[in-house]
Amino acid sequence: MPYKILDKARLNSVTSKIVIEAPYIARNARPGQFVVIHIDEKGERIPLTINDSNPKDGAITIIFQGVGRTTCRLAALKKGGFVQDVLGPLGKAADFGRAGRVIFIAGGVGIAEILPVARYARANNNIVTAVTGARTKELLILEDEMRGASDRLFIVTDDGSRGARGVVTGPLKELLDKEAFDLAYCVGPDIMMKFACGLTKQYNLKTLVSLDANMVDATGMCATCRVKVGGEVKFTCVDGPEFDGHLIDWDEFMKRQKRFVALEKRAMEYHGHKCRMPG
């Protein structure tokens, strides 16, 4: 039974949003969880965070950047089209409850991943501060939604075309110097999470991250998603994707993330770089 694409929109030149009909997933999905999408028989299984779920319509929303072969193929699908398989909701949901003052830090498409957790934080009576960033104004997504989900929102872009000029760790450091927080939640490129965690560690601020590890089954069966957390081997798909960022062996994790890069490049070449982003 294929899964229908109920809606499809383009958020900017690299980011798309699709709404997929998946009633059981929509009913049970919690903030922080993800799905695995397998477009067709020849496709890969890739994990994507559930950005929003609507049990009434039986629909889930996914926001992603067309960067690899599969995300580019996804971006090319149209409203009314289908994907063959969607499995979920997977992974542990956010469960920090009422922590107090929570600061969210997100970069790029990571903003789409923190949004549901920021909403969860608000619903649990936390005071929510958010710092979001992108390379440039055009790539900054979900500004209004983030504003709605937080008490305060700070924006940065690499080129200063929107908000302050700089990277997320800039405002983060300023805030940490001035104020006390009870919890940080950070999602973005691996290198950004590594640096943000390095910073919050100096302030002894517990920091949760959501890892975007390479996966296959996402049910705990293959171990490709393993990551060392506090010296212990964990499976991102079932033990995560949320982990204590101060306990992650970031250098090892980032090396592991490069395992299939060369082959992925070969696949893109083989298929003639067919990454287009139609509306």
Partner 1 sequence: MREQKPKERIRNFNEVALGLTEEEAVAEAKRCLECKRAACIGGCPVEIDIPAFIKLISEKDFQGALDKIREKNSLPAVCGRVCPQEDQCEKVCILAKKKEPINIGALERFAADWALEHKVAKYELRTPNSERRNARVAIIGSGPAGLTCAGELAKMGYGVTVFESLHSSGGVLVYGIPEFRLPKGIVESEVDYLRGLGVEIALNVLIGRTRTLDELRKAGFGAFFIGIGAGLPYFLGVEGEMLNGIYSANEFLTRVNLMKAYLFPEHDTPVKVGEKVGVIGAGNVAMDAARSARRLGADEVSIIYRRTEMEMPARIEEIERAKEEGIRFELLTNPTGFFGDADGWVREAECVRNRLGEPDSSLRRRPVPIAGSRFKMALDTVICAIGQGPNPLLPRTLPDLKLDEDGNIIVDKLGMTSIEGVFAGGDIVTGAATVIAAMGAGRRAAAAIDVYLTQQA
For ligand FES, the binding residues (CB under 6 A) are 215-218, 220-225, 235, 237
Candidate residues 15, 17, 44, 107; the one interacting with partner 1 per rule CB under 8 A: 44
Least Cβ distance, residue 27 to partner 1 (angstroms): 9
Residue placing its CB nearer to partner 1 in the complex, 74 or 111: 74
Rounded CA separation 70/138 (Å): 23
Half-sphere exposure of 257 (CA within 13 A, CB side): 14
Burial class (CB in 10 A: 0-12, 13-18, 19+), 245: buried
Residue placing its CB nearer to partner 1 in the complex, 22 or 205: 22
Half-sphere exposure of 12 (CA within 13 A, CB side): 15
Phi/psi at 268 (5° precision): -60, -45
The residues near 173 (Cβ < 8 Å, ≥ 6 apart) are 199
Site for partner 1 in 61-80 (CB under 8 A): 69-70
Is residue 263 a contact residue for partner 1 (CB under 8 A)?
Answer: yes
Candidate residues 201, 271, 273, 274; the one interacting with partner 1 per rule CB under 8 A: 271
Number of neighbouring beta carbons within 10 Å of residue 34: 27
Least Cβ distance, residue 219 to ligand FES (angstroms): 7
Interacting span for partner 1 (CB under 8 A) from 20-28, 49-57, 150-158, 196-204? 20-28
Interacting span for partner 1 (CB under 8 A) from 13-21, 48-56, 188-196, 265-273? 265-273
Interface mask toward partner 1 for 159-178; x: CB under 8 A: --------------------
Q: Is the dihedral of CA 181, 183, 189, 191 positive or negative?
A: positive
Candidate residues 78, 223, 244, 278; the one interacting with partner 1 per rule CB under 8 A: 223
Q: Where are the beta strands (DSSP E) in the chain?
A: 3-10, 15-21, 34-38, 45-49, 52-54, 59-65, 82-83, 85-90, 101-107, 127-134, 152-157, 164-165, 183-187, 207-210, 226-229, 232-235, 242-244
Interacting span for partner 1 (CB under 8 A) from 49-57, 127-135, 164-172, 213-221? 213-221
Helices and strands in the chain: count of H runs, count of E runs = 9, 17
Total residues found in the chain within this entry: 279
Residue placing its CB nearer to ligand FES in the complex, 235 or 253: 235
Is residue 256 a contact residue for partner 1 (CB under 8 A)?
Answer: yes
Is residue 89 a contact residue for partner 1 (CB under 8 A)?
Answer: yes
Phi/psi at 266 (5° precision): -65, -40
Rounded CA separation 61/46 (Å): 15
Report CA-CA distances (Å) from 217 to 86, 87, 211: 11, 9, 16
- Count residues near partner 1 (CB under 8 A): 44
Interacting span for partner 1 (CB under 8 A) from 38-46, 136-144, 150-158, 193-201? 38-46
Q: Both tokens of residue 58?
A: 């039986």
Interacting span for partner 1 (CB under 8 A) from 6-14, 148-156, 157-165, 267-275? 267-275
Q: Which stretches of the chain bind partner 1, using CB under 8 A?
A: 1, 24-25, 28, 38, 41-45, 69-70, 84-90, 216-217, 219-224, 226, 228, 233, 238, 252, 255-256, 258-260, 262-264, 266-267, 270-271
